[in-house]
């Protein structure tokens, strides 16, 4: 949905500015394209949406309506999935820190629980003794090595080894501990965050999962989970180069799995956990121009009422796609280079660097695209309240999905002394 200045101004007058606009039709299209690409290569397939990437309830409900599962990594996210009506057996509980009470809840509910450490394994072994009639759905997260042709690690941030999952002697010990307690291992999980999101990484993950299953004769495995970390439709515009398509990932993963005779015969469910790849371009951010200035050396700045924390809280160096929405229309005026900077007191609050604009003026707006991933979930109430989130209502207007944070909401979790007004 392309909106003009009048529509943005009307929303701002009613709900405040800055604000986010969620695009449900784009999100649903991304989900379906991802799932269709995988199912065309391998069935059965399960899409487990990564809640942590954007747990906007409207988005999570859309996942559920399109037959997706919830992939959660905390008690907060687990309870959110339950509140939104996800069936317990269609929740995948991952993450490096599951407290005993969290594990007990998920194990008893029949959710898929992928264990990340021997501490978690030991608790499961105790839990089944206390609950002898239970049949928990337990998996192991496997530590996967990602190495490029040059011999260098492809693990995120250049780490030689990722910190998640079990490997070597600890993996073997986990298998023995669970087997000795009568716990069937029905899931193998290989999510590994990479520096390049390459197709080869997923081939390596699939190869590792097959090798682990074979080595330990895990013939009860029902889920082979390759995790997330895919490129999506937003990445190509952001990076300015071609990136792998969903079908290319699917071909590599399915091709690797189906080379394994056991997998080919038994067809465990392939699970993938997309997040950024399906939700990044499903949300835009609208921020109002407050002022412009020119400083020593001729550097020009546009100050807006949003912040880099609203757009890219990780502060990566890439400029997001943007559109200048002018109050007076047209493109008159000189085109000049500006840094678009935010409303906080940080020098590094730079939303866009050295972009060309037609003389921005107070009252104009900037639309920043690709803001659906790791924005609303990572932005604290730093200096300014959390912005409203809206979506098109189907009749030319907008519906409110989240209100702009009020002072009362901000203070609700605090205990204030008797001198407070």
Q: State the DSSP string of 238-294.
A: HHTS----HHHHHHHHHHHHHTSHHHHHH-PEEEE--SHHHHGGGEEEEEEEEEEEE
What distances in angstroms separate CA 33 from CA 26, 99, 105, one per listed residue?
A: 10, 36, 33
Peptide bond into 18 cis (omega under 30): yes
How far is 130 from 53, CA to CA, in rounded Å?
35
Question: Three-state secondary structure along 124-180?
Answer: HHHHHHHCCCCCCEEEEEECCCCECCCCCECEHHHCCCCCCCECHHHHHHHHHHHHH
Which residue ranges in the chain fall short of pLDDT 70? 1, 329-332, 418-421
How far is 87 from 68, CA to CA, in rounded Å?
11
Tokens at 330, concatenated: 């047209």
Collapsing DSSP states into helix, strand and coil, what is residue 201?
helix
How far is 297 from 310, CA to CA, in rounded Å?
29
How far is 156 from 256, CA to CA, in rounded Å?
23
What integer pLDDT is reported at residue 151 of this predicted model?
78
Tokens at 274, concatenated: 């997309």
How far is 331 from 324, CA to CA, in rounded Å?
10
Task: From 145, 140, 150, select the one nearest 173 (Cα to Cα).
Answer: 140
What integer pLDDT is reported at residue 156 of this predicted model?
83
Q: Where are the alpha helices (DSSP H) in 259-397?
A: 261-266, 276-279, 308-311
What does the domain layout of the chain look like in residue ranges?
5-21+281-411, 40-274
Collapsing DSSP states into helix, strand and coil, what is residue 414?
coil
The residues that bridge with 47 in the sheet, in sequence order, are 272
Residue identified by tokens 């600890």 is: 170
Architecture of the CATH domain 40-274: Alpha-Beta Barrel (3.20)
How far is 270 from 38, CA to CA, in rounded Å?
9
Tokens at 205, concatenated: 């993950």
How far is 263 from 112, CA to CA, in rounded Å?
20
Collapsing DSSP states into helix, strand and coil, what is residue 1?
coil
CATH of 5-21+281-411, one of 3.30.365.10, 3.50.50.60, 2.40.37.10, 3.30.1300.10: 2.40.37.10
Distance of CA 88 to the CA centre of its chain: 21
How far is 41 from 150, CA to CA, in rounded Å?
30
Task: Write down the pTM of the prediction.
Answer: 0.94
Residue identified by tokens 């009568």 is: 182
What integer pLDDT is reported at residue 236 of this predicted model?
76
Collapsing DSSP states into helix, strand and coil, what is residue 12?
helix
What integer pLDDT is reported at residue 329 of this predicted model?
66
Task: From 140, 164, 144, select the one nearest 154 (Cα to Cα).
Answer: 144
How far is 158 from 172, CA to CA, in rounded Å?
27
For residue 401, give the H/E element and its range.
Answer: strand 398-402
What integer pLDDT is reported at residue 196 of this predicted model?
84
């Amino acid at each position: 949905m392309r909106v003009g200045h009048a529509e943005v101004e009307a929303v701002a007058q009613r709900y405040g500015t800055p604000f986010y606009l969620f695009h449900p039709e784009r999100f649903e299209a991304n989900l379906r394209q991802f799932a269709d690409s995988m199912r065309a290569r391998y069935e059965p397939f399960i899409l487990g949406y990564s809640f942590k990437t954007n747990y906007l309830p409207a988005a999570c409900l859309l996942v559920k309506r399109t037959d997706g599962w919830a992939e959660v990594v905390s008690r907060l996210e687990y309870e959110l999935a339950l509140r939104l009506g996800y069936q317990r057996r269609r929740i995948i509980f991952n993450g490096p820190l599951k407290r005993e009470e969290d594990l007990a809840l998920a194990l008893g509910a029949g959710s898929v629980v992928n264990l990340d450490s021997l501490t978690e394994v030991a608790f499961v072994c105790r839990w089944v003794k206390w609950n002898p009639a239970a049949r928990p759905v337990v998996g192991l997260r496997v530590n996967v090595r990602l190495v490029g042709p040059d011999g260098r690690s492809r693990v995120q941030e250049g780490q030689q080894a990722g910190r998640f999952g079990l490997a070597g002697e600890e993996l073997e010990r986990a298998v023995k501990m669970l087997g000795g307690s009568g716990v069937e291992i029905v899931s193998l999980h290989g999510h590994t965050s990479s520096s390049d999101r390459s197709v080869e990484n997923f081939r390596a993950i699939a190869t590792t999962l097959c090798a682990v299953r074979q080595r330990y004769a895990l013939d009860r495995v029902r889920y082979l989970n390759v995790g997330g970390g895919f490129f999506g439709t937003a990445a190509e515009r952001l990076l300015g180069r071609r990136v792998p398509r969903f079908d290319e990932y699917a071909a590599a993963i399915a091709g690797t799995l189906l080379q394994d005779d056991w997998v080919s015969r038994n067809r465990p469910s392939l699970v993938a956990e997309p997040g950024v790849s399906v939700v990044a371009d499903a949300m835009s951010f609208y921020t109002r121009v407050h002022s412009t200035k020119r400083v020593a050396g001729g550097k020009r700045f546009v100050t807006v009422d949003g912040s880099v924390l609203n757009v890219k809280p990780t502060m990566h160096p890439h400029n997001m796609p943007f559109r200048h929405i002018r109050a007076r229309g047209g493109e008159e005026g000189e085109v000049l280079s500006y840094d678009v900077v935010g409303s906080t007191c940080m020098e590094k609050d730079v939303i866009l660097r050295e972009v060309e604009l037609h003389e921005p003026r107070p009252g104009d707006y900037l639309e920043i695209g690709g803001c659906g991933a790791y924005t609303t979930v990572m932005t604290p109430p730093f200096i300014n309240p959390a912005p409203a989130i809206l979506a098109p209502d189907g009749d030319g207007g907008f519906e409110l999905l989240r209100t702009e944070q009020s002072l009362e909401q901000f203070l609700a979790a605090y205990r204030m002394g008797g001198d407070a007004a």
